[in-house]
Amino acid sequence: MDAVDGSLDLFEFRTMPQEDELVTVQTRNCLSGKLREGPAQLVLRDKVLRIVFQQGFFKLRNASLEIEATAGEIHLPYWLGFYGANNSLRCRVIDAVRRRIEGAKASAFFEQWLAA
């Protein structure tokens, strides 16, 4: 889950990435997290429950939802493409890991960040 404001969709790893699977990059284009652990857990719980309900929670038997924070941070790269004219500049967002175009939430997220 993004720790900036919790608005982006969840990013799933089957297992936590190992050190040799990560690349360390130094950049000034990195958003810092604003959500504290408590509020972040509430947002994450709501997002997970929404996914469970969408997939059919009737299939679950004796389910239990526990949220556990892990050490460290993982920053995911995105590519931004800009279009428009004059004062109506917009952006399209591509997830640089999965190489797919993101939706309106991600575009609005980065547009607000760039405007700030």
Per-domain boundaries in the chain: 1-75, 77-116
Q: Are 45 and 65 in contact (CB under 8 A)?
A: yes
pLDDT at 79: 92
Q: Are 63 and 45 in contact (CB under 8 A)?
A: no
Give pLDDT tens digits for 52-83: 777 776 666 666 778 777 777 778 888 999 98
| pTM for this entry | 0.65
3-state helix vs strand vs coil in the chain, percent to 5: 30, 10, 55
Rounded Cα distance between 73 and 22, Å, is 11
pLDDT at 80: 93
Give pLDDT tens digits for 27-44: 887 777 777 878 888 888
